[in-house]
Structures are given as C-alpha cells and as structure tokens.
Chains A and B, each alone.
Chain A
Amino acid sequence: MTGETDDSASRNISRRGVFKKVGAVGVAAIAGTPLAPAASSATAQERATPERATTATPQREALETLTAAEADILEAIVARLIPFDENGPGAAEARAAYYIDRALTGPLRSSRESYAANLAATDVYAGSTKGAGFAQLAAADQDAVLSEMEKNVATGFSPNAAAFFNLVRAHTIQGTFCDPYYGGNANFVGWDLVGYPGIRMAVGEDEQRLKAPQPVRKSAYDDAMFTMKGGNARGGDHGHRP
C-alpha cells in the first residue's frame, strides 16, 4: 500500500485549491486563502505540478451553489479535515469542495441551508475566538476551531456545531473518495490513499486473495455501456427483455 500511495503523490496533482482554476479573476478574488497548509510535505510539494492557466481551452468552472466567500471557508475546512501531508494529497487536492458545490444544487440540495448558515457561523466563531475569518487562520487555529465544532462546544451553529461538523465530514469523504465523474477524487487521490484496487468489471478468484491486485484507475463512466453513448457502443442493453 505504501508503494501505491507514493505513486499517487508523483502523479500530476494540482496543489492549487479547488476554486483556483477559474482564471486570474477568481484567483485574485480568493487570494487570502492559504495555499500551503502547515503540515504539507516538502517532498510532495516539489513533486506537485501546478496547472497552467495558459492552455488553449479555458477552464470554465462556475460556483454553482456557494458564494465565493462560502467557497473560501469550505475549501479551508476540507483542507484541514483531510490535509495534504506526508501521506500525500488530501481533500483540497481531491477537489472535495468542488464536488460539494455541485452536489448542493442537486442530490445534496437539502443541505444547502445548513451550509449557508453554518459556514457563516464558522467564520463568526473563528473571528470571535481566534481573531480572523476561518480561511485566514493558521492551520493550528483552524484545527482548534474544527475540534471545538466536533466536540460541540463551538457556538452559533444550527442545529449545533457537531451536527454540521459531521455533515461536512461526510460530504468531504464523499468528495474525496467518490467516482471522479462527480468532480471529486481528482486524479484518484482518494482511491490511492485507501489502496482501492479500482473498478474492474470482472474479478477473478486470484484477485480475491488477501493480496489485492494492482490498482486500475478509471471511472465507471469511462465504460461507454453506462453513458449516453452506450447503446451504440455496445449494440444495446444485453440481458434486458422488456
């Protein structure tokens, strides 16, 4: 497993934040967001290859649900829940916040109000206890705020701090370990972290011994069978008898 994760750290991993692919204006607007969490490994940082904004095709990434200020706070939270460190990329590199922003306008829409109220509450609580907005705090202070939320001693949250902590944690895990189709688990960093050997459409007996097979890295939707093109690609839905 160690070897697998070392491989993953050497992949083309963006060390830029989730919302930092929106071009110069977007970057400028969130310039206060910490780029390098304190626990980051120097080695991993050296390996990381920042993406350039000079490619021919512009990357168009709107914030679909969150305000820019909410996105800054959420980005900072996920980066501390699952940090970049000696074990490789974390939730920011997986683009967990990007996943959450999109899901909040769809399957997670029932949580939208909670994010609005509680991301604001996180900032207020950070300001009153640590003297700055959450995203502007040093990593150690951010961790202290999260700890107080987890223990449900932080105030100002709805219905309470622990409930929001658990909600964000669950969604951050989804965004870090989901199929990359959904916008998280970028570059498969989550699957590398837990040593998931990957999606295989058929698994042989030898692949169910204690030693897992070599990882394969693809999305479920790299298989045309499961996409809008699938009918043509596979000649129809075999096995279906309406």
Chain B
Amino acid sequence: MAIDLKKTDVVIVGLGAVGGAAALPLARAGLNVVGIEAGSWLSPRDFAPDELRNNFRGWPQSAQKANGEIPTHRPNASAPYSPRLPIHPMMNAVGGTSLHYWAQSWRLNPWDFKVASETTRRYGVSRIPKGSTVEDWPFGLEELEPYYDKVEYEVGISGQAGNVGGVIDQRGNIFEGQRKRGYPMPPLRGTEFTEQMAAAARRLGWHPFPGPAAVNSEAYDDRAGCQYHGFCNRGGCHVSAKNSTAVSTIPKALATKRLEVVTQAIATSVMVDEKSGRVTGVVYVKAGREYFQPADVVLLASYTYENVRLLLLSKSRPFPNGLSNNGGQVGRHYMSHFHLGNPVSALFPHNLNNWYGLPAQGVAVDNWADDNFDHSGVDFIGGGNLWVYSDRRPIAAASMSTYGKAPLRGSRWKSFIKENADRYNVAYLQKTTLPYEDNYLDLDPVVKDPMGFPVIRITADYKDNEKQMGAFIQDKMAQWFMEAGAIAVEKGPIGTQLPSTHAYGGTRMGDNRETNVVNRFGLSHEVPNLGILGASVMGTSGAHNPTLTAQALAWRTAEHLTANWKTIANQ
C-alpha cells in the first residue's frame, strides 16, 4: 500500500527544463509545489571534462532511470524494429537534460504557428503534404512572445536580437518574429573559423548571425560567464555558466520556501477520482517504498516519451485506455525532429581549431528555414536552420570520415587523421518536421523497463516532404562550406525517426478536442486539473531547438493556473 503524504497544491512530475521552469511562477504566486524527480542533485564537481563519460557512457553518475526506458522504434507498423539505442537521449537529475543540453535557445518562427493556414494562403491547400495531420497552433507567436521574454530573462539567454519592435537589426536574425526587447546578454563570441564561415555566408548574399544560447556570455545572476572549454556537448558546466533549471529557476523557486524537491522518486501512476474524473495526485516509488502525493493540480513535466507513457500507464475506470485518452489522441502527432538526418560535413585544407568552444558557439543562417523563401518552385514546405559551430574532442575527431581519401585502419589511416583531425566540420541542420497520421507513440507490447512497465514504442518515419527538403538543405549547406574554402563535402543519409533529444507531439495542444489532448493553456481537454508541459504539446517542430519554446509554454500554463486557481483547483 502506498504511504499517503500531506496534500499539496501542485505536484510536478519531473524537474527538468520545463518542470523546473514552471515551478518558479507557481511558487512565486504562493502555491505549494512538490516536484517529483527521478534523479538527484548533481554539482559542478560532477561535470568533469571527460569525453568518454559525457559522450559515450550515458552519464554513469546520474540516476539511470532513462537508460532503462529507451524507446523502441520501427519505421512503420509492418517494418522490422530498428536496433535499440544503447543510451537514452535524455537523462535524469534535478535540472534534467538541461544540465547537459546544447543550450541553443531559439524562439520559433512566426510561420511555425500557422503552417496549415499560411501554406494554404500562399501556395494552396494542395501543398500540405498528404497524410499530414498538421494544424495551426491555437495562437500565434505574439501570444507566446511575453513568455519567451520572461524565460529569456529568468533563465538567462545570450543572443543578438534581429527584430526589436519591428526594427530589423542585420546583426541578428532578420527573419525572427517581432520581440519586445533584446536578449539579457550579448551573444557568445565567435571563433576565427565561425567568423570565416559568416564572411562566406555574406558573400553568398545570406544573413549569418550568432545563435541564442542559455549560456552566460558574461556574468549573470551571480554566475560566471562561459569558459569555452569544449565539454559542453552532453556535458554539465563546471562553473554553472550553462543555465540549466538546476542553477536558474529551481534555486529561485526554492528561495520562496514554496517548492519541495523530492529526488530519486519515480512516478508510476497518476490517480483519478472515479466519480469526478479529476486527478487526485501522483504515486511514486522511492527507495523501494510506494508513496501517494495528493494534489489539487497535477502537472506532467517529463520528456515527451515519459509524458505519454505515464498517461498510457495510468488506467482507471473513467479512463480505461489511459489518462486523458478517451479521445484516442495520446501518442498521436508524434515527431522525432529532422535534425540529425541528412547531415553535411566538410573537409578544409587547413586546421580549424574547433577543439574548444561549445555547440551553442556558432553561426546560423535562416535564409532557407521555415517560409523565409519562396517555395513556389520547390516540392516541399518548410526548411532548415543552418548551424556551424566549434566543438571537437579527441575520440570523435579520430572517428572522423576519411572522405574516401584513406582506409579506416593502418598507417595510411593514421597519417590521414594526423593531418585532418582538426580540418573537418559537421554542420547541424534542423529542419521542419510535420506530424502524420501513421507516425505515433504507444506502449511496446514486449519490451519493459526494470520496474516491469512497458517502454514507449515509436512508429514513425520521414516522408516525402522531409526527404525533398533534406536534399535541398544539404545542397545549401554544401554551397556554404565550399564558399568558405572546403575541399570536400560529404552528405549523409536521411535515417529514420529514432528516439531523439527533440521529440514532439503525443499530447498535442489545440482548441479541437477531437484532435488534441490539451487545450490552448496546456490543460487536458478531458481532465480539468491535469496540465502537460513539454514539447509533447507542440504541433509543429519548427527548424530550431525546442527547449525555449517548451519552457515558454510551461511558464504560460503556470501563469494561467495561478490566475485561475480557484476554478481549476475546484475550490
């Protein structure tokens, strides 16, 4: 039997990027919040500059919940399963994956909120890909702008604005939607290599700019500026210059005395009152004991796969197919972001000194993203953000492609990497991904986690729109590298929708309750006191990293909750 705990106002499942952000406005409004986190606290002393530990071993010092729950994948319902990933893209700790993420902190483009209507208006309804379930978001960028702004200042984002109050600044992203004010910190500095890439982009008539990052470019909120030491990629920050929620919003929430953090606690079920159909709290397991944390409002804030899984596992008489799933929409409209498929790498005739820096230190081009160019003459909608950055470590460098110029072993290989280990660069190309009727998440019928619960099964693959866009973006990136002096480029295959650090959908947000799980405020259409936070509510991916948008949405849900507390909490 579960041990009953004292009731709280709000229980949050997961204290990562979104749960850790939402906790702050809730606590500041005077609500008592309990955060249930599977991992524990990690400190700068855990963040050694160690490539093996960070990039190959799945963070052995962290709680290993995620690594026991790696989703399975098959491209479609009749295809064989893909080999299972050895480690989960995400990890567990207070702060979650925001401890070791790349920290690129983008706002979405205005078009990303209105893909269906804008495509129809500009090119005709026939240009919406067949089988896509894409809908407009229930609101536009202007509705989310104040929340982007709050998160940028509370978490701490470095960047160069491109459109403040409608005034275009060529130093920033000229395609970004209008913002009220600039970033709280200037952008991270460039390197000689990224400056050369920026110059090459300008020669092509494009508009390069430094990307936004949740990394301090200078001291901020009593924390140091970035040291550019080169271990930020899946690494935590040894000087707390990376603004994970563990060093930004969660400490601020703790300072209000309204947030209680329960670590090493694994949520196993959300409980439902059978009469009212309202949620009553969360069951979790800690140190082998089962606890029930009652609450007036439950917020799910784990990763997309875990949000969906906990809903599907939480079966009750009112919700026999999983919580908030009487409409059959939980798990639908899933997307693994098209950000690793169709990569482009380049070989240069001189060293680049990419050994230091971080994935968020780079140069972006958005000329070929979203609907920033005329799609009349191409066979796809959407596009890609081109991103070139400074990041290299020895094991990865020695594992480089030989561009067909050397074998993979022996003295000729050794001679090749001796000369070229610091002469290649792999671009990061994030591309629009759309939902389709046959791309979805459900529970795997066979594979279980160490506690005996089924893991998530991904059934999803890229479609023609992604394939055609991928080829187009590869050509643009190759053109950019060649303009900058590359002597060879290599274009990689598209791959498939494997478990990803960018996973969207499954609990999509929208006004139509027939096709969406949560309403425009992130609350369940079927359960009035259940909220869902994270990229699982996003209906389109955009061509940029999801975290800042997921955090802005979470902040908005939290403020909606505090403004309407008595109604939502039924008091």
Interface residues of A (CB under 8 A from B): 1, 5, 39, 80-83, 85-87, 90, 107, 110, 143, 146, 150, 169-170, 173-174, 176-179, 181-182, 185, 190-191, 193-197, 199-203, 205, 207-212, 220-221, 223, 225-226, 230-231, 234, 237-242
Contact = CB atoms under 8 A, between A and B. Distances in A.
B553 to A, nearest CB: 26
Given A173-B398, A209-B191, A220-B50, A150 B409 contact: yes
B409 A82 contact: yes
A173 B399 contact: yes
A143 B228 contact: no
B422 interface: yes
Interface stretch (B128-136, B313-321, B410-418): B410-418
B219 interface: no
B355 interface: yes
Given A1-B419, A182-B52, A194-B394, A210 B409 contact: no
Nearest to A190: B394
A143 B409 CA distance: 9
Interface stretch (B15-23, B41-49, B366-374, B491-499): B41-49
Given A210-B351, A211-B353, A239 B418 contact: no
A203 B397 contact: no
Given A81-B409, A197-B355, A208-B356, A179 B52 contact: yes
B125 interface: no
Nearest to B394: A177
Given A201-B238, A202-B229, A242-B41, A212 B51 contact: no
B186 to A, nearest CB: 14
A193 B417 contact: yes
A239 B239 contact: yes
B44 A225 contact: yes
Contact of B49 (A80, A193, A201): A201
Nearest to B241: A239
Given A191-B394, A211-B351, A238 B49 contact: no
Nearest to B252: A241
B515 interface: no
Interface of B: 41, 43-45, 47-52, 56-57, 60, 86, 189, 191-193, 223, 227-230, 238-240, 247, 251, 254, 350-353, 355-357, 390, 393-395, 397-399, 408-411, 413-415, 417-419, 421-422
Contacts of B192: 208-210
A207 B189 CA distance: 12
A236 to B, nearest CB: 9
Given A150-B408, A211-B353, A212-B422, A238 B417 contact: no
Contact of A194 (B41, B45, B397): B397
Contacts of B357: 203, 208
Nearest to B52: A178
B456 to A, nearest CB: 21
B481 to A, nearest CB: 16
Given A170-B399, A174-B56, A241 B418 contact: no
A131 B174 CA distance: 68
Contacts of B395: 173-174, 177-178
A199 B397 CA distance: 15
Contacts of B394: 177-178, 185, 190-191, 194, 196
Nearest to B250: A241
Contact of B228 (A177, A208, A212): A208
Given A203-B227, A208-B356, A209-B192, A169 B417 contact: no
B418 A237 contact: no
